[in-house]
């Protein structure tokens, strides 16, 4: 999708569709009785011509400005655009980049289904800076353009060829925002495409090949190791999972080290890359198992983040590690009751072979520390328990360092991604103590997201560490106006923004 940036009269824009944002300036009454408030919709632009074109439909009460309300006007008088699409952004006082990102995604999804190939967005007059608004529009457009119907034989080739962002302000600043948003949007969809692939087309080897190809394109160093290296490093937890599959595992290590970067800090990004999870010997129920192709979403996220970091070039060293394998039942597979020795030397009693993600991450975190990482973040579709706790609305966040968490929380809020901190205190670790080994790989039924995090904390040791459990958010269970059903790319924007700020701190 080509992105153009224009600063001209909106009435003169020749496009298949001009998109404008409608907001509601009505405020709640002092007594809070909102049901009596009438919407006061208006087109959020200073352009008189666009205001005039939309005046009748707004004055009729048909347009209220509520979130993602859509009104399409054909052949609008006084405009060179063939259509005018009015999209609601909600209350003016609460309007945020999140709302604008969704508006852009909804515009793309609506217009491409109608055969529109190019359109323009009129940045709204609001509390947002022009640069933040332009960034939100471009990111949202890339979110909206992705569809998961890759293998449909009658797939409709619906796409948007070009998006024009109509904005007033410092052109160089706006262009920088647009260019950065393109990098983030393309990296997000790169991640989503990896997650969307079925496991017979996304084996650990194929995932490693994608990582190598991407790294070569953007200038990252990428090393891929197989079973021999995993055994040499004494990654017994990782190998315990991998040994049950005929597909060879892959330890993927991507390094970004810009010239002039200080020796410390070094940010380590560790992703769970289970390209298919049957549960192993503790096999899952058949219902819904097809979704386990996305059990590598944490790893794919880290690969996408590394792509964006390489192109955005923060002044900090970052190492991305993905532990990729399948979790399969076979005559070679680990069994409940087995004892594995992790890279750190800790011994683990396998209680449930379906608690495999924490095993591969344990060795990934240890290896990241060995490579010199001073701060660690892991991402994984780790537990069903986090979905019970938070539903599909929030990423579960765990941390062993309050300052590190607070810094990340500010970033995720700015990125507009919903995340919620959950506890990881010692009581949860006690639930994973084994009578025969150091740890068990499960802590029982209760508090499952926290016991899993407590297990991982043991392998981060004293290194500042964050764990993102994305099990409930990595996959959109239903289509929304701004995003297709399927992989979401959650946490990628937060991690990219954090890495950039981390480099400047």
Other Cβ atoms closer than 10 A to 150:
12
Please state the three-class secondary structure of 125-157 as a single string. Answer: CCCCCHHHHHHHHHHHHHHHHCCCCCCCCCCCC
Q: How many whole angstroms separate alpha carbon 154 and alpha carbon 148?
A: 13
Residue 275 tokens read as 């390209």
How many secondary structure helices (H) and strands (E) does the chain include? 14, 20
Query: Is residue 275 classed as helix, strand or coil in its secondary structure?
Result: strand
Active site residue 176: no
Half-sphere exposure in the Cβ direction for 167 (13 Å, CA) = 28
Q: Counting beta carbons within 10 angstroms of the beta carbon of residue 50, is it exposed (0 to 12), middle (13 to 18) or buried (19 or more)?
A: buried
Q: Smallest Cα–Cα separation from 368: which of 265, 498, 294, 505?
A: 265
Give the helix/strand (H/E) hosting 403: helix 402-415
Angle between helices 171-196 and 130-145 (to 10 degrees): 20
Cα dist. 291→274, 475, 483 in Å? Answer: 12, 9, 18
Active site residue 358: yes
Phi and psi, residue 166, nearest 5°: -95, 115
The one catalytic residue among 66, 212, 284, 414: 284
The one catalytic residue among 83, 112, 317, 358: 358
Task: Give the chain's largest Cα–Cα span.
Answer: 79
Angle between helices 204-218 and 171-196 (to 10 degrees): 160
Report yes or no: 363 and 238 within 8 Å, Cβ to Cβ: yes
Phi and psi, residue 435, nearest 5°: -85, -15
Q: Smallest Cα–Cα separation from 305: which of 155, 57, 28, 490?
A: 490
Length of the chain: 505
Cα dist. 317→102, 293, 494 in Å? Answer: 33, 31, 17
Report yes or no: 42 and 65 within 8 Å, Cβ to Cβ: yes
Positions annotated as catalytic residues are 284, 358
């Amino acid at each position: 999708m080509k992105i153009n940036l224009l600063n001209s009269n909106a009435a003169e824009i020749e496009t298949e569709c001009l998109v404008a944002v409608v907001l509601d300036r009505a405020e709640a009454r002092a007594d809070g009785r909102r049901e009596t408030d009438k919407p006061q919709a208006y087109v959020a632009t200073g352009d008189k011509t666009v205001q005039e074109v939309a005046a009748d439909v707004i004055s009729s009460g048909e347009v209220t400005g509520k979130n993602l309300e859509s009104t399409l006007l054909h052949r609008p008088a006084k405009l060179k655009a063939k259509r005018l699409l009015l999209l609601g952004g909600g209350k003016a006082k609460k309007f945020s980049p999140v709302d604008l990102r969704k508006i852009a995604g909804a515009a793309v999804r609506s217009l491409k289904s109608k055969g529109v190939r190019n359109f323009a967005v009129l940045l709204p007059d609001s509390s947002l800076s022009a640069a933040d608004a332009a960034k939100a529009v471009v990111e949202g457009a890339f979110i909206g353009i992705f569809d998961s119907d890759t293998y449909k034989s009658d797939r409709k080739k619906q796409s948007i060829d070009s998006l024009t962002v109509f904005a007033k302000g410092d052109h160089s600043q706006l262009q920088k925002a647009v260019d950065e948003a393109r990098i983030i949007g393309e990296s997000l969809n790169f991640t989503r495409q990896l997650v969307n692939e079925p496991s017979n087309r996304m084996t650990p080897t194929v995932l490693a090949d994608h990582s190598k190809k991407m790294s070569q394109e953007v200038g990252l160093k990428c090393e891929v190791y197989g079973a021999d290296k995993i055994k040499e490093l004494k990654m017994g937890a990782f190998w315990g999972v991998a040994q049950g599959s005929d597909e060879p595992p892959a330890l993927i290590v991507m390094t970004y080290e810009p010239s002039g970067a200080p020796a410390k800090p070094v940010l380590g990004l560790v992703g769970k890359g289970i390209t298919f999870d049957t549960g192993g010997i503790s096999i899952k129920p058949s219902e819904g198992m097809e979704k386990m192709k996305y059990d590598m979403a944490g790893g794919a996220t880290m690969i996408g983040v590394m792509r964006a970091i390489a192109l955005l070039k923060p002044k900090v060293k970052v190492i991305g590690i993905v532990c990729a394998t399948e979790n399969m039942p076979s005559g070679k597979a680990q069994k409940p009751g087995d004892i594995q020795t992790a890279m750190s030397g800790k011994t683990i009693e396998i209680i449930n072979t379906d608690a495999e993600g924490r095993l591969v991450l344990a060795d990934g975190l240890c290896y990241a520390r060995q490579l010199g990482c001073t701060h660690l973040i892991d991402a994984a579709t780790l537990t069903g328990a986090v979905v019970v706790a938070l539903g599909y609305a929030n990423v579960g966040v765990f941390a062993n360092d309050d300052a590190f968490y607070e810094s990340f929380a500010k970033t995720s809020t700015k990125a507009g991604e919903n995340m919620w901190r959950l506890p990881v205190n010692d009581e949860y670790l006690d639930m994973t103590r084994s009578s025969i080994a150091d740890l068990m790989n499960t802590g029982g039924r209760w508090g499952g997201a926290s016991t899993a995090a407590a297990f991982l904390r043991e392998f981060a040791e004293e290194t500042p560490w964050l764990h993102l459990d994305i099990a409930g958010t990595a996959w959109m269970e239903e289509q929304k106006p701004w995003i297709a059903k399927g992989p979401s790319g959650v946490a990628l924007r937060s991690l990219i923004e954090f890495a950039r700020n981390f480099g400047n701190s």
